[in-house]
């Protein structure tokens, strides 16, 4: 078990920069998710931690120790591949024992640890069968067990749940959390599924185009996105992000949206936008669940009028798509009374609105 | 009806292609028939008729020398004399023995060298494509030309003697022992690339993440090679060895150009022996008998081999 | 992970060593082809690159005589070269056409399921063990020492390669494409000719080149089934030896170079599919 410091790491493939000046501190025993859209560099980052890829620039320290000159074989890193990389020509037992046998551990000890791990992963009834006969779900367990048995210093998982069917995925998600607790190991987990990351990780590192966009606890990232990308990426359904020009008309600061909609700004969101006088175009973010219907409850809330375009049911709630000229807002219809075509008014609570600079995507104003 | 009914009853296993084709196979069969016809005719022409003729000639004394047409060969009927003679012909058994010698030395040498080369080439490195092409050239050269190349190399006044500092009367191709060595060297030179090519394809077929997983689990390169790569290459290895063994059994061009089977019969393999019987002695009936014996033996071996593989893979 | 410098050096050492071993005999023959008589042997010292490069050897085999050489040749390379080309090409055509048609019928219509294994058998036996009846038959129908006689046997012995190679290419064509065309009203022939064949065209070209290489490389069949008119290059090369009393190394090397060029060029062109071809489609790269 060890902590990991990633210091200003850059990875280039020829001209292409896969990872750009990335720094992360991962505490001992922490469960960290690397989250980002596909091709963002998260897998490359993990491969560099594992030593599967060279680092172009920067360093990765394990408990303060640089392992870049240590052979992969001697790094003692647990790695669960996306498609598990089970040795399908061997039995389940031989898969589990591989990491121990190559280290010349005595036979009784190997047997003891294999059967303990098989019990833990509930695949002991399969021990003497060829690994190729396992179901995908069992392969997943075997892959984790095979890595865990050698008691690695850290544990890396590359999209481990993406091949599973929906039901088992939920079960395995919970199981992973339990396992992480039991092993007490530092775990790094790559995923493009924000729900997985949110529910599993102690900390999430959001990566886009090779850059670290934000690093923090799931709640912090959800409530307090540092930039427009994170705001857009995290949360389901997605945050409303309304882009427009900032213009002052007769003493009122308005966000002029392409297509004609005007959003008068007031309260906290207004002061956020005005905190940097150099900003002329901005992006206003509001989560669907923060929008409410009817008259405004507070003077500083922003009231808008629009037409209900589509209503769809999401679980117990209904999601409404409301159109204001050419701009779409997504909101929860918690009272179940909207229908398509309704002309309605709805409000954005100004203190829940987030302000971003449209050019740089940077968050404006004070963080909560 | 109390008897339990089987769910699969009435649905025999289908070996035919599925989908649309199976449903309308009627018309397709008609065109398919015309498609296979030329090949079937060629097969009949080259298998059935010659086989019968060979069987017929092998029980006569017929030779093209005496001016008897082949269909009148019954006039010199010999019963099983040719086969009896074959069983006691030291030259035949010697040739068979030498063929096996070539196989036993050349095929494993090609295998180990090919495997080592494949291991060298399995990872990317600058210039890999270029060197890969160089490695493949020997097997693309006409075997007769390879024979010529080594004939030139192994001359007393050739470069090999010069390099090894041997006198020009130190002979390779006309020496009782070294002739065979020279032939084997030439065969290894030409056909190691084939082994290399096939084994490399097999090695590249080993899933790379499994290899990485094995490394991350702490296996050394050698341990991973033996426990992960080799077992995964089993089928490929069998294919490569069988292909080379079959071809090596047929070896003719190289030896014929290099030594003509000499000195004496020192490099006379089965094919050279048959050639000499055919054109030197003109004992065609005898050659037919030998050929039929080889045909029969190889078929039995092949059938046994196939059955064994089917059993092990099934 | 970075490879250690030591292992990189070791790797290149072995790669270069292997390349040297591969190139050594080749280089000796190729340079020999451009060497004048005194440099053919090491009697006057070993020369790798001709001191007095000459085209004399090529001139001699093409024209039957060359300046400065007292000997002359009554039969030049031209006849054998044409014979090699004609018989290889015709044999290739026969094998590829028959192999393509029949493998398509086997793959798509499930006809003649025993055909794949039985054509494979053709490659199992030493040709000399089964050649007596063929030679008798060829003599009987007057096919010995004719272009068509040799082409016929070439087409037959390379048919297994063409058949198996095309079989794997057809198996890769998604059946849905053909189904769609059938449903749209195309006849079987039209589907094959207009849809499938264009899809496997690269495979067909590969197959043709591969089979051509095999036919071009033959020595034994031409040795058995030709006498004079249709003698091919390899046979001619070997007879040159005996006729000239042995010591015409330079000319033989020149012949060897000419005979070696087409297969090497074609072989490098179809490098990607060599494994598939050589293993009868059992392995793909």
The pLDDT tens digits of the residues spanning B17-74 come to: 444 444 445 566 778 888 889 999 998 888 888 999 999 999 888 888 877 888 888 8
In tens digits, what is the pLDDT along chain C, a chain of 285 residues?
456 788 889 999 999 999 999 999 999 999 988 988 778 877 777 778 888 888 888 888 888 777 766 677 778 888 999 999 999 999 999 999 999 999 999 988 887 788 888 888 888 888 888 899 999 999 989 999 999 999 999 999 999 999 999 999 999 999 888 888 888 888 888 888 888 999 999 999 999 999 999 999 999 999 999 988 899 999 988 887 555 555 788 888 999 999 999 999 999 998 888 888 888 887 876
The pLDDT tens digits of the residues spanning C155-192 come to: 999 999 999 999 999 999 998 888 888 888 888 888 88
Q: Rounded CA gap, B272 and B262, in Å?
A: 10
Tokens of C70: 């007292």
Model pLDDT, residue C245: 52
- Give the angle subtended at the CA of B45 by the CAs of B43 and B46, to the nearest 5°: 65
Write down the mean pLDDT value for chain B: 86
Q: Are C250 and C57 in contact (CB under 8 A)?
A: yes
3-class DSSP state for residue B119? helix
Nearest-by-Cβ selection for C110 from B17, B159, B204: B17
The overall pTM is greater than 0.90: no
Interchain CB distance below 8 Å, B24 and C182? yes
Does C105 lie at the interface with B, CB-CB under 8 angstroms?
yes
Q: Are A225 and A361 in contact (CB under 8 A)?
A: no
- Other beta carbons within 10 angstroms of residue A93's beta carbon come to 20
The pLDDT tens digits of the residues spanning B143-164 come to: 999 999 999 899 888 888 888 8
The pLDDT tens digits of the residues spanning B243-299 come to: 999 999 999 999 999 998 878 888 999 999 999 999 888 888 899 999 999 999 999
Give the DSSP per-residue string, A192-228: S-HHHHHHH-SEEEEEETTEEEEEE-HHHHHH--SBH
Q: Are B138 and B193 in contact (CB under 8 A)?
A: yes
Tokens of C13: 């050492």
The CA-based dihedral angle spanning residues B78, B79, B83, B86, taken in that order and rounded to the nearest 10 degrees:
-30
Q: Rounded CA gap, C150 and C85, in Å?
A: 12
Q: How far is B110 from chain A (nearest CA, A)?
A: 26
Interchain CB distance below 8 Å, A71 and C2? no
Q: The complex's ipTM?
A: 0.91
Side-chain half-sphere of C2: how many Cα atoms within 13 Å? 10
- From the first residue on, what is the mean pLDDT of each consecutive set of 10 residues in chain A (368 residues)? 86 89 89 89 89 88 85 86 89 91 89 90 89 88 89 87 83 85 86 87 91 91 91 88 87 85 86 84 90 85 89 84 89 81 88 88 79
Tokens of B156: 């007393």
Laid out side by side, the sheet with A77-80 consists of A77-80, A154-158, A186-191, A31-35, A203-208, A211-216
Model pLDDT, residue C84: 95
Residue B260 per-residue DSSP state:
T
- Quick one: B107 exposed, middle or buried, by C-beta within 10 A (0-12, 13-18, 19+)? buried
Model pLDDT, residue C2: 55
The pLDDT tens digits of the residues spanning A108-160 come to: 999 999 999 998 888 889 889 999 898 888 888 899 899 888 888 888 998 88
Give the DSSP per-residue string, A114-173: HHHHHHHTT-GGGTTSBGGGS-HHHHHHHHHHHHHTT--SEEEEESTTTTS-HHHHHHHH
Interchain CB distance below 8 Å, B288 and C25? no
Q: Residues of C with CB below 8 A from A73's CB?
A: none
Can you list the alpha helix ranges (DSSP code H) found in chain C?
5-33, 56-63, 78-109, 115-121, 131-140, 147-171, 175-183, 188-190, 197-199, 201-216, 220-225, 233-243, 249-269, 274-278
List subunits contacting chain B, requiring 3 or more Cβ pairs under 8 Å: A, C
Does C97 lie at the interface with B, CB-CB under 8 angstroms?
yes
Interchain CB distance below 8 Å, B19 and C15? no
The pLDDT tens digits of the residues spanning A33-75 come to: 999 888 888 889 998 988 888 888 888 998 888 888 888 888 8
Torsion angles phi and psi, residue A208, rounded to 5 = -140, 135
Residue B1 scores a pLDDT above 70: no
Interchain CB distance below 8 Å, B218 and A74? yes
How many residues are recorded in chain A? Answer: 368
Count Cβ–Cβ pairs < 8 Å, chain B vs chain C. 296
The CA-based dihedral angle spanning residues C273, C278, C279, C281, taken in that order and rounded to the nearest 10 degrees:
40
Tokens of A28: 């001992």
Model pLDDT, residue C285: 64
Q: Residues of C with CB below 8 A from A72's CB?
A: 1
The pLDDT tens digits of the residues spanning B165-176 come to: 888 888 888 888
Q: Are B172 and B163 in contact (CB under 8 A)?
A: no
Does A72 lie at the interface with C, CB-CB under 8 angstroms?
yes
Nearest-by-Cβ selection for B217 from A89, A90, A150: A150
- Other beta carbons within 10 angstroms of residue B206's beta carbon come to 21
> Is residue A58 within a helix (H) or strand (E), and if so which, with residue range?
strand A57-62
Beta bridge partners of A285: A241, A354
Q: Rounded CA gap, A186 and A172, in Å?
A: 18
Model pLDDT, residue C212: 95
Model pLDDT, residue B15: 44
Residue B11 scores a pLDDT above 70: no
**Among B16, B50, B112, B148, the residue to mutate for chain C (most C Cβ within 10 A):** B148
The pLDDT tens digits of the residues spanning B84-131 come to: 988 889 999 999 999 999 999 999 999 999 999 999 999 888 999 999
Q: Residues of B with CB below 8 A from C27's CB?
A: none
Q: Are C163 and C121 in contact (CB under 8 A)?
A: no
Cα Rg of chain A, angstroms: 25
Does C203 lie at the interface with B, CB-CB under 8 angstroms?
no
Q: Rounded CA gap, C248 and C40, in Å?
A: 9
Q: Residues of A with CB below 8 A from C1's CB?
A: 51-54, 71-72
Model pLDDT, residue B104: 96
Q: Residues of A with CB below 8 A from B213's CB?
A: 79, 81, 85, 87, 146
Percentage of residues in chain B having pLDDT higher than 70: 90
Q: Residues of B with CB below 8 A from A85's CB?
A: 207, 209-210, 212-213
Q: Rounded CA gap, A182 and A185, in Å?
A: 8
Q: Rounded CA gap, C161 and C167, in Å?
A: 10
Q: Are B263 and B179 in contact (CB under 8 A)?
A: yes
- Give the angle subtended at the CA of B284 by the CAs of B283 and B290, to the nearest 5°: 95
Q: Residues of B with CB below 8 A from A73's CB?
A: 215-216, 218-220
Does C1 lie at the interface with A, CB-CB under 8 angstroms?
yes
């Amino acid at each position: 078990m060890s902590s990991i410091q990633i210091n200003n790491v850059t990875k280039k493939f020829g001209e292409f920069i896969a990872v750009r000046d990335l720094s992360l501190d991962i505490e001992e025993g922490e469960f960290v998710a690397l989250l980002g859209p596909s091709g963002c560099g998260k897998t490359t980052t993990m491969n560099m931690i594992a030593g599967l890829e060279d680092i172009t620039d920067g360093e990765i320290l394990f408990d303060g120790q640089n392992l870049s000159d240590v052979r992969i074989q001697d790094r003692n890193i647990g790695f669960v591949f996306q498609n598990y990389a089970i040795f399908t020509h061997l039995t389940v037992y031989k898969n589990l024992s591989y990491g121990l046998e190559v280290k010349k551990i005595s036979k009784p000890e190997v047997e003891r640890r294999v059967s303990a791990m098989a019990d833990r992963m509930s695949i002991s009834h399969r021990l003497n069968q060829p690994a190729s006969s396992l179901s995908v779900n069992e392969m997943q367990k075997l892959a984790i067990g095979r890595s865990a048995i050698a008691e690695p210093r850290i544990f890396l998982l590359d999209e481990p749940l993406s091949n599973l069917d929906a039901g088992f995925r939920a079960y395995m998600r919970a199981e992973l959390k339990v396992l992480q607790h039991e092993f007490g190991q530092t775990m790094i987990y790559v995923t493009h599924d924000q729900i997985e990351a949110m529910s599993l990780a102690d900390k999430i590192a959001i990566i886009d185009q090779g850059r670290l966009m934000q690093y923090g606890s799931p709640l912090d990232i959800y409530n307090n996105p540092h930039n427009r990308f994170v705001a857009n990426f995290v949360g389901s359904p997605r945050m409303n992000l309304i882009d427009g020009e900032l213009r002052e008309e007769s003493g009122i600061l308005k966000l002029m949206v392409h297509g004609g909609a005007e959003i008068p700004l007031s309260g906290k969101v207004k002061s956020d936008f005005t905190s940097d006088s150099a900003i002329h175009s901005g992006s206003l973010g509001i989560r669907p669940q923060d929008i409410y219907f009817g008259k405004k409850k507070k003077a500083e809330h922003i009231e808008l009028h629009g037409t209900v375009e589509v209503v769809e049911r999401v679980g117990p709630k209904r999601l409404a798509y409301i159109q204001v000229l050419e701009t779409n807002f997504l909101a929860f219809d918690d009272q179940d009374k909207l229908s398509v075509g309704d002309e309605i008014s709805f409000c954005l609570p100004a203190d829940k609105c987030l302000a971003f600079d449209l050019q740089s995507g940077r968050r404006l104003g004070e963080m909560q | 009806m109390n008897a339990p009914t089987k769910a699969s009853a009435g649905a025999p296993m289908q070996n035919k292609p599925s989908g649309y084709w199976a449903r309308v196979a009627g018309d397709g069969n008609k065109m398919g028939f015309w498609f296979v016809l030329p090949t079937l005719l060629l097969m009949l022409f080259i298998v059935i008729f010659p086989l019968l003729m060979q069987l017929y000639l092998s029980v006569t004394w017929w030779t093209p020398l005496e001016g008897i047409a082949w269909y009148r060969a019954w006039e010199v009927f010999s019963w099983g004399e040719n086969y009896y003679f074959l069983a006691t012909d030291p030259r035949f058994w010697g040739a068979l023995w030498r063929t096996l010698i070539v196989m036993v030395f050349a095929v494993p040498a090609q295998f180990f060298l090919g495997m080592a080369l494949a291991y060298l080439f399995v990872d990317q490195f600058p210039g890999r494509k270029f060197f890969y092409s160089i490695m493949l050239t020997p097997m693309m050269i006409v075997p007769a030309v390879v024979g010529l190349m080594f004939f030139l190399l192994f001359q007393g006044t050739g470069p090999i003697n010069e390099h090894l500092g041997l006198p020009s009367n130190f002979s390779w191709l006309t020496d009782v022992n070294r002739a065979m060595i020279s032939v084997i060297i030439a065969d290894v030179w030409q056909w190691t690339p084939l082994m290399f090519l096939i084994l490399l394809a097999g090695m590249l077929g080993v899933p790379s993440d499994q290899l990485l997983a094995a490394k991350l689990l702490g296996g050394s390169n050698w341990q991973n090679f033996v426990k992960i790569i080799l077992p995964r290459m089993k089928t490929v290895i069998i294919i490569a060895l069988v292909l080379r063994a079959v071809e090596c059994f047929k070896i003719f061009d190289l030896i014929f150009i290099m030594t003509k089977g000499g000195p004496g019969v020192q490099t006379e393999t089965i094919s050279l022996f048959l050639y000499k019987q055919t054109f030197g002695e003109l004992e065609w009936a005898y050659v037919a008998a030998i050929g039929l014996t080889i045909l029969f033996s190889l078929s039995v071996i092949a059938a046994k081999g196939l059955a064994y593989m089917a059993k092990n893979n099934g | 992970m970075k490879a250690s410098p030591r292992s990189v050096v070791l790797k290149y050492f072995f790669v270069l060593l292997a390349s040297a071993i591969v190139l050594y005999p080749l280089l000796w023959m190729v340079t020999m082809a451009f060497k004048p008589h005194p440099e053919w042997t090491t009697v006057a010292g070993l020369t790798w690159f001709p001191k007095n490069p000459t085209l004399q050897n090529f001139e001699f085999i093409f024209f039957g005589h060359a300046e400065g050489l007292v000997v002359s040749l009554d039969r030049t390379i031209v006849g054998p070269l044409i014979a090699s080309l004609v018989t290889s090409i015709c044999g290739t055509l026969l094998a590829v056409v028959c192999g393509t048609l029949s493998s398509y019928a086997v793959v798509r219509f499930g006809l003649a399921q025993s055909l794949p294994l039985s054509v494979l058998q053709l490659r199992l036996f030493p040709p000399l063990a089964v050649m007596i009846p063929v030679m008798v038959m060829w003599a009987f129908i007057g096919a010995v020492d004719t272009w068509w006689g040799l082409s016929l046997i070439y087409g037959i012995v390379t048919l297994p390669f063409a058949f198996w190679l095309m079989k794997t290419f057809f198996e890769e064509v998604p059946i849905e494409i053909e189904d769609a065309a059938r449903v749209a009203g195309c006849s079987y022939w039209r589907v094959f000719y207009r849809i499938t064949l264009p899809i496997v065209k690269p495979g067909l070209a590969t197959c043709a080149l591969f089979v051509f290489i095999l036919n071009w490389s033959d020595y034994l069949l031409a040795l058995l089934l030709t006498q004079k008119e249709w003698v091919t290059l390899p046979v001619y090369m070997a007879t040159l030896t005996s006729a000239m009393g042995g010591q015409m190394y330079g000319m033989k090397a020149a012949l060897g170079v000419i005979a070696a060029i087409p297969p090497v060029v074609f072989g490098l062109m179809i490098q990607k599919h060599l494994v598939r071809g050589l293993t009868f489609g059992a392995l793909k790269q």
